[in-house]
Structure 1
Amino acid sequence: MNISGLEPQPIWRNFAALNAVPRPSKKEEQVIAFIKNFGENLGLETSVDDTGNVLIKKPATAGMEDRKTVVLQSHLDMVHQKNADVQFDFATQGIEMEVDGDWVKAKGTTLGADNGLGVAAMMAVLESTDIAHPSIEALFTIDEETGMTGAFGLKPGLLQGEILLNLDTEEDDEIDIGCAGGIDVTATQSYPLQEANGQIVKIEIKGLQGGHSGMDIHKGLGNANVLLGRLLYTGIENENIQLVTIDAGGLRNAIPREANAVVSVRNAEEFINQAVALKAATLEEFSAVEPNISINIEHSTSVEKALSEKDSRNIILALKAAHNGVYRMSPDVADLVETSNNIARVELKNGELKILNLSRSSVESTKYAVAEQLKSVFELAGMNVKFSGSYPGWKPKPGSAIVKLMENIYEKDFGTKPHVVAGHAGLECGIIGANYPEMEMVSFGPTIRGAHSPDERASISSAQKFWSFLKEILKEIPKR
């Protein structure tokens, strides 16, 4: 089925056009040009700032000139993840989509509904001739997924809007009024290589669900890096293991789904037997949440140089000790993850080690507490640790006028109360709010599942609900 023919057509048609344009994070040149041309072709005031953010302004429809100006905001980039057996180049190819019941999904890659459906909705509003709305400032930011570069580069005074509607959440019955901040924790080290003293063993983990390292961190899903660390730990008691290579995980904001390691072990049969026993226990442990997990441990014929047993031991101990998952639940908001860490990527090649983490928290002091705990573990293992990419959280304001308006509209239109929540994902609202402290901000969106993984899918019926809700909000924006 042609995605463009789905209802509501204004959203799906624009989403299909957007997904034909490559737009991985930090490589947004093509999609910036696409959105700039879109605004200019509509005859609307369009500009691109020094960072690469695109701003398109649309005047109010007749009779709504006295309403508060609304900033509609979404990010242009998407997470680029694919299954290992899929050949795909995110820098040159558009996303291949298909319909499965009520869901739109991609063929073996991330879909880009995060945040492409928000972008498509903004495009639909900008091109519309029959939607009542106040003055619109449509802000399309860049590089949200790997550093929030666009939001950080947004200059004070560029926006005149009094209300910001961020279209970047993933449950259509939620109105989001707060989010977590984050910080990247990176551990690195260079190690001398020597001859491998034992037999070569290969470990492969695959079939995990993965998912969003913020919104899914509390679900007890398997982290391929953590599971790899557990398996490797079985071989260090007698310092009989040497690491050769590790290629595990991927982006910081995605829970790792796959891991591969090659090791040299002096008593390989004993190691494999112990690892296979742990494999059986692991499969049982995760049977309810990871039914497709696959762990393979086998002899290999590779004869490469390896790290020393001592250096290997230190790395394995660090992987075993580093915190992953929920660090603290919020004492103020029920069921909200306050602080967490995702061990996202472990790479060892030619003696060069890199371990990437993303720590999140809605409380700055606790964000640094978990980051400093990680730093302590990795430094004890002899690694160098760097903090980078820190961004603030977004403090909830549940009593704001726009939140009350949206609650009333939702209950009137859908017959039930929405959930007013704060989320554990990173949103640009906290950064934008630092430069525009008086602006009222809310985030909402259609239902998306499996964001940041190749299982990402977007609900067709939810997109219809979201579109109806957005149009009604724009119609009801109050006067200045």
Structure 2
Amino acid sequence: MNEQIRQLAPTALWNHFADLNAVPRPSKKEERVIDFVKKFGEVLGLETKVDEAGNVIIRKPASKGMEDRETIVLQSHLDMVHQKNSDTTFDFNTQGIEMYVDGDWVKAKGTTLGADNGIGVAAIMALLSSTDIAHPPLEALFTIDEETGMTGALELKGGLLTGKMLLNLDTEEDTELTIGCAGGIDATATGNYQQVNAPVGEAFELSVTGLTGGHSGGDIHLGRGNANKLMNRVLLELTGKYDIRITDINGGSLRNAIPRESFATIAVEDKHVAAVKETVAQFAEILRKEFKTTDPNLLLSLNGTVMPTQVMDKEFQQKLLRVIYACPNGIYRMSPDIQGLVQSSNNLARVLVEDGSYSIQCLTRSSVETEKDDLRMAITSAFELMEANVTTGGAYPGWQPNPNATIVKLMSDTYKEMFGEPAHVNAVHAGLECGILGRNYPEMEMISFGPNIYGAHSPDERCQISSVQKFWKYLLEVVNRIPVKK
């Protein structure tokens, strides 16, 4: 199937993308892809360096006649989000992504595609390997671990880069030029609980599946269902009416992905079995109606399973459900200054409760640092009411827009000239590495752009072929127009 991809235009970019997607590259396990990119630079005979964090830097001298131009930094991240459908058998640690062409789209079979940010990486590789594209001096920066902590950007030292303009190729709408983004912080609540003997009765697996999911920053404003929240809502409804007991809950996966699935095992006394089945069926219809637009494939189901020997202590069970119910999720505040921009949000990303211990994970985002701290405190306070141990980490700053930067004007003018309409110059709620990189390179102008990539961070991720062609044409023209050094 990947041979279809190699026939697409521009062939250099798509071939590099196919090569990249053959290399497993989960966040925090990027050793193989670091080695892949390092060897790529060395085979080309270009100056190649891997820094202490694992970021790869490759330098390419200017093409003839462009030696006097400003050096530009081309930046993308090497890692990808690993998500798959529950019925898909796939090992991200050993397998390459299985891609196919569907009309004007490139998709993956039941998994994330890795176009975020693999298309950006492939575009940079195509520029580095080209022999006939005019370009100024290039510094390619391939960062690691963008998706689960941005540690590559955080640990990149000052002085390694000489360029004064940075093109980040990690935006997912081809009409947008991004010049600002939100910061983020992780919050994790953990603890232990008592287990007691399961009651006499029947056991069931309660499942919430089929949700759309998506990027917990870029898609948070779309009102899509959060599987952890919906599962908790159903469980609290059931425990309020019947004496059901919960054995375990397993929902969501990654902090930066809106949870698409959640599963719980419950024990039900015989006298309540029929009523529980009827309540779940009623709730399935309620949720189907509420989320018919955003999550048309939502499925709430109840299936028999093996009766467990242990269940949660009843007092803990009620505390847990009420605290999760109280935990903020989704939009916290819209920007009062920029129309349509989410200012602060939280993603209740992961709920794992089993065998006497629990872990609940959130990712909080905001373009206002003080508001990010306020939301973090709201989450912390909720979980501390059940005496959870709440820790925070992985904090990264936002990126403050500079609409007057030279690179912004150059790219805006070029876009309008090429495509006959103005680009949408904006800030986004998703996290980008530019704000972090700017701490050690405060004089560097930065901008982010890219092709249409929809459904990022979910198995519905897809990349538009015609948009990649537009993006590539635009990138080459921008590179050609980089100004002479001052």
TM-score (norm 2): 0.97
**8 Å Cα contact 1:241-1:313 kept in structure 2:** no
1:325 aligns with 2:327: no
Structure-1 residue corresponding to 2:258: 255
Residue 220 of structure 2 aligns to a residue whose secondary structure is coil
Structure 2 counterpart of 1:3, from 2, 5, 8: 5
* Offset, 1:125: 0.5
CA shift digits 1:48-97 (9 cap, x unpaired): 00110000000111121111110000000000111111111111111110
Structure 1 counterpart of 2:67, from 65, 68, 71: 65
Q: 1:397-416, aligned counterparts within 5 Å? A: 397-416=402-421
Structure-2 residue corresponding to 1:208: 211
Structure 1 counterpart of 2:307, from 275, 297, 302: 302
**8 Å Cα contact 1:22-1:94 kept in structure 2:** yes
Structure 2 gaps, min length 5: none
Structure-1 residue corresponding to 2:156: 154
Q: Which moved more, 1:271-280 or 1:173-182?
A: 271-280
CA shift digits 1:16-65 (9 cap, x unpaired): 01101111111111100000000000000001001100000001111211
**8 Å Cα contact 2:267-2:307 kept in structure 1:** no
**8 Å Cα contact 1:113-1:457 kept in structure 2:** yes
Give distance in 1, aligned partners of 2:348 and 2:281: 24
**8 Å Cα contact 2:247-2:308 kept in structure 1:** no
Give distance in 1, aligned partners of 2:4 and 2:301: 39
**8 Å Cα contact 2:259-2:349 kept in structure 1:** yes
Would you say how many aligned residue pairs link Structure 1 and Structure 2?
Answer: 480
AA aligned to 1:96 is E
AA aligned to 1:381 is M
Residue 209 of structure 1 aligns to a residue whose secondary structure is coil
1:339 aligns with 2:341: no
Structure-2 residue corresponding to 1:465: 470
Cα RMSD of the aligned pairs, angstroms, is 1.2
Q: 1:408-447, aligned counterparts within 5 Å? A: 408-447=413-452
**8 Å Cα contact 1:48-1:54 kept in structure 2:** yes
* Offset, 1:371: 1.2
Q: 1:11-410, aligned counterparts within 5 Å? A: 11-197=13-199, 199=201, 200-237=203-240, 240-266=243-269, 267-410=272-415
Q: Which runs of 4+ in 1 moved over 4 A?
A: none
* Offset, 1:240: 2.7
Give distance in 2, aligned partners of 1:437 and 1:268: 63
* Offset, 1:238: 6.3
Q: Which moved more, 1:201-210 or 1:462-471?
A: 201-210
AA aligned to 2:483 is P
**8 Å Cα contact 2:38-2:50 kept in structure 1:** yes
AA aligned to 1:403 is V
Residue 197 of structure 2 aligns to a residue whose secondary structure is coil
Residue 124 of structure 2 aligns to a residue whose secondary structure is helix
* Offset, 1:10: 1.4
CA shift digits 1:128-175 (9 cap, x unpaired): 111111111000000000000100110011111100000001000100
**8 Å Cα contact 1:239-1:309 kept in structure 2:** no
**8 Å Cα contact 1:207-1:258 kept in structure 2:** yes
* Offset, 1:299: 4.1
**8 Å Cα contact 2:23-2:33 kept in structure 1:** yes
Give distance in 2, aligned partners of 1:397 and 1:409: 18
* Offset, 1:440: 0.1
AA aligned to 2:122 is A
AA aligned to 1:250 is S
Residue 244 of structure 1 aligns to a residue whose secondary structure is strand
Give distance in 2, aligned partners of 1:368 and 1:461: 41
Residue 277 of structure 1 aligns to a residue whose secondary structure is helix
**8 Å Cα contact 1:446-1:459 kept in structure 2:** yes
Give distance in 1, aligned partners of 2:359 and 2:254: 13
Q: Which moved more, 1:290-299 or 1:92-101?
A: 290-299
* Offset, 1:384: 1.3
**8 Å Cα contact 2:206-2:301 kept in structure 1:** yes
CA shift digits 1:193-243 (9 cap, x unpaired): 110125323201111111000000010111110100110111333683322
